[in-house]
Amino acid sequence: MNLNERKLQILQAIISEFINTAEPVGSRYLSKSYNMGISPATIRNEMADLEDMGYLTHPHTSAGRVPSDKGYRLYVDELMDAGELPEEKKQAIQSRLDQARRELDNTIEHAADLLSEITQLTSFAVAPGNLKSRLKYVQFLPVDSNTVVLMIVAEDGQVVNKAIRLSVPYKEKDLELMSKMMTRNYMGKKVTALMAMNIVEDFTKDMHSLSALARDVAPSFMKTLEKMLDAELYMYGYTNLFKLPEFSADMERAVSFLRVLEDRDYLTDVLVNRDSGVIITIGDENAEAMKDCSLITADYCVNGRYVGKLGVIGPTRMRYGQVTSVIKYICDHLSDTFQIEEEDYGKD
Amino acid sequence: MNLNERKLQILQAIISEFINTAEPVGSRYLSKSYNMGISPATIRNEMADLEDMGYLTHPHTSAGRVPSDKGYRLYVDELMDAGELPEEKKQAIQSRLDQARRELDNTIEHAADLLSEITQLTSFAVAPGNLKSRLKYVQFLPVDSNTVVLMIVAEDGQVVNKAIRLSVPYKEKDLELMSKMMTRNYMGKKVTALMAMNIVEDFTKDMHSLSALARDVAPSFMKTLEKMLDAELYMYGYTNLFKLPEFSADMERAVSFLRVLEDRDYLTDVLVNRDSGVIITIGDENAEAMKDCSLITADYCVNGRYVGKLGVIGPTRMRYGQVTSVIKYICDHLSDTFQIEEEDYGKD
DNA sequence: GTTAGCACTCATTAGTTGTGAGTGCTAACA
DNA sequence: TGTTAGCACTCACAACTAATGAGTGCTAAC
């Protein structure tokens, strides 16, 4: 049994119909509304074939057909239209994004927010910590008699800081000295390399004059470095899910969905380890916890260098074509915005 | 009609019963289980009085009684027990919190997380930006040919930073110069005062040598200052709500609850503007959007100075006594942990 | 290969009824 | 005068029934 033109046509009709209505699609309706010139009975035969091949299923005997994950996969790969966005939509997105284009972090957050608004799904943006980033300098700032702020700056401009409570008194001079020593010792080293080192020992050896202070600070220093490698996750529109018929009918399902979204560490992990490019994963192609969801993600770049991902998560029934187009466009637009502005530089 | 001892006793019984079961409480059950030595009929008379006084309501004619918001208020003010936590619970909380006690931000997050776990409600912690904070220094760090990081440090140790894309080229020297000029001009000034100033004009006047650069940076500088006054909000356990019977039965209600939680700006605003101390607000005592919720918050301090709030949000039916005890204890413990460690200082 | 016809399935909805928890009221009681 | 037993009444809820209708699968004819 092979997928001839007519079978594909019927599959496409069923899937786009189901995506719109969330109701199982029957043969009679199809025959009428999509006037393909064949009778319901013929369509039923074809449907039965498509079901045998695994592209469709049945919620129960007397219901219409519903796409399976495999069916969606075929749809996404072969049938759907994820073309260019119409010009007016592009304009609308642009004007919304260009408001704060000088600021990297804000822009990404806005983009994610906008994405959830347009798609009416849950959107997220993730900016993984740069594994290759190298330390630029370390600085301790005095705050009050027993609190200092540790600040670490990486060569790529990432800054992390942490307030630290000390159990021993310090002199401003000591802090300065320690800042300088640490900067000298660790400058240019990869953050990952530093984390593998036995810094605590290092500290007490190199900085005997400051040993008590240094020993106090070492664990926090490691924690702060860790923070540098941590990914940042933004998430928007998780109540959008409840507007969808599949969830407003089925509370259980909605809650198990929410629980996945609540586990930010898990979600971050999934996203960070995801392949690059425009990636769509459908239902059981995802890990067990997300086998009822589909994810679409794409990458955005700064100066052509990969920086993070933007995407949506939703039920397997979603407008794959439109959503993909929007995500693609937003990511491309972000990457363009954060391209080195050569024209500007040329001017001066 | 006044609230005699017996009425109070009945009210207390109804409320604690309802808090446990989420089912309307009937007169017969009360008479049997709480053996107060009076018949159901008498209890019914008292109940009718309590209802006239506004402390109870009726979901429908043939149902038992349910506390009203006013009833909960009386309960919270007069009847409930929010005493000391038993020693073993204190121990458990302490040991969970003491893991990362050198790091301020982590500890607060852990505390909020723990709070949601213990209470099985949604917890949050908010650390409002310090309105009195004064600027300590400003620094621009070069990242790549058209990106710099702006870093602002306040006297109290708060650090904010932002990556900024420039449209004009810069020299490292210019950045240094600008950092120095801004630090000199703004050091010791209140952040709120700076925000009221017309910095953009200031910039072009004071720094004519850097005018293009300065003009480019000014709006981002303002935005970054803003960030310094923004409150940080952490939230944990919002799916806990779905475990409660009032929400698993009534989807609508759960969703409208979630929508409130999703609006972080609104929630932050409510929390920041809340009175100090251990505050309980019940049902319609809250703003319209939260008229079905109750909030309990308390403050935590660092070095005796007010720093932020920790609390829970849940349905009006909650274990006010226990939850209040836990929140109080956690806040006190945090404040102790972040008290200047005089003993330690004495040693050296 | 296509289609009309028909029996069959099954979710959904509306209607019906019984049950039980609980109230409010009244009249009798201490 | 406060307390209580008794009883009629209310109303949510669950169980059952029947009707409806959308849709399938199969068969036989075209």
Domain boundary among B165, B197, B229: B229
Smallest CA–C1' separation from B63, nucleotide: C22
B50 touches strand C (CB under 7 A): no
d(Cα A313, Cα B230) in Å, to the nearest integer?
Answer: 29
Q: How far is CA A19 from CA A67, A90, A194, A318, in A?
A: 9, 23, 50, 6
pLDDT over 80 (residue A343): no
d(Cα B125, Cα B311) in Å, to the nearest integer?
Answer: 6
Same domain, B117 and B47: no
Nucleotides on chain D that have an atom closer than 7 A to a protein CB are 3-6, 9-12, 21-27
- CATH number of the domain at A18, please: 1.10.10.10
Candidates A101, A161, A241: best to mutate against B (most CBs of B within 10 A) is A161
Which residue in chain A has the smallest CA separation from B149? A157
Q: How far is CA A285 from CA A68, A309, A313, B166, B294, in A?
A: 12, 19, 13, 42, 42
Across the interface, whether the CB atoms of A165 and B136 are under 8 A apart is answered no
Percent of chain A at pLDDT exceeding 70? 95
Same domain, A72 and A176: no
Same domain, B300 and B271: yes
Q: How far away is chain A from the Cα of B30, in angstroms, using its nearest Cα?
A: 34
Same domain, A218 and A330: no
Domain encompassing residue A110 = 87-128+232-347
Task: Count CA within 13 A, CB hemisphere, residue B267.
Answer: 26
Q: Which residues does chain B have within 8 Å of residue A149's beta carbon, measured at their own beta carbons?
A: 153, 157, 159
Q: What pLDDT is recorded for position B15?
A: 97
Contact in structure between B160 and B137 (CB atoms under 8 Å)? no
Same domain, A98 and A147: no
Same domain, A167 and A243: no
Q: Which residues does chain A have within 8 Å of residue B146's beta carbon, measured at their own beta carbons?
A: 340-341, 344-345
Same domain, B279 and B333: yes
Domain boundary among B43, B58, B79: B79
Q: What pLDDT is recorded for position B104?
A: 81
d(Cα B114, Cα B123) in Å, to the nearest integer?
Answer: 9
Same domain, A140 and A225: yes
Same domain, A249 and A121: yes
Domain boundary among A229, A259, A292: A229
User: How many A/B residue pairs have CB atoms within 8 Å?
Assistant: 142
Nucleotides on chain C that have an atom closer than 7 A to a protein CB are 2-5, 8-11, 20-26
Q: Which residues does chain B have within 8 Å of residue A341's beta carbon, measured at their own beta carbons?
A: 146, 165, 167
Q: What pLDDT is recorded for position A169?
A: 85
Domain count, chain A: 3
pLDDT over 80 (residue A207): no
pLDDT over 60 (residue A346): no
Q: Which of A194-203, A242-251, B70-79, B130-139 has the lowest mean pLDDT?
A: A194-203
Same domain, A252 and A200: no
- CATH number of the domain at A241, please: 3.30.450.40
Q: Work out the average pLDDT over A67-85.
A: 96
Which residues, at least 6 apart from B175, have a Cβ–Cβ distance to it below 8 Å?
Answer: B140, B141, B142, B148
Q: Strand pairing partners for A268?
A: none
Q: How far is CA A99 from CA A109, A127, B53, B263, in A?
A: 12, 21, 55, 21
pLDDT band for position A156 (50/70/90)? confident
Same domain, B92 and B114: yes
Averaged confidence pLDDT in chain A: 91
Average pLDDT, 10 consecutive residues per value, chain B (348 residues): 90 97 95 91 96 95 96 97 95 88 84 97 94 91 88 91 87 90 93 85 68 82 91 95 88 90 95 96 97 97 91 97 98 88 47
- CATH number of the domain at B202, please: 3.30.390.60
E strand or H helix at A285: none
Angle between helices A87-97 and A320-337 (to 10 degrees): 50
pLDDT over 80 (residue A192): yes
Across the interface, whether the CB atoms of B223 and A100 are under 8 A apart is answered yes
Q: Which residues does chain B have within 8 Å of residue A102's beta carbon, measured at their own beta carbons?
A: 164-165, 216, 219-220
Nucleic strand D contacts from chain A, 86-105, CB < 7 Å: none
The tokens describing A136, both together, are 């630029």
Same domain, A236 and A105: yes
d(Cα B167, Cα B216) in Å, to the nearest integer?
Answer: 7
B167 touches strand C (CB under 7 A): no
Contact in structure between B103 and A163 (CB atoms under 8 Å)? yes
d(Cα A135, Cα A137) in Å, to the nearest integer?
Answer: 6
A26 touches strand D (CB under 7 A): yes
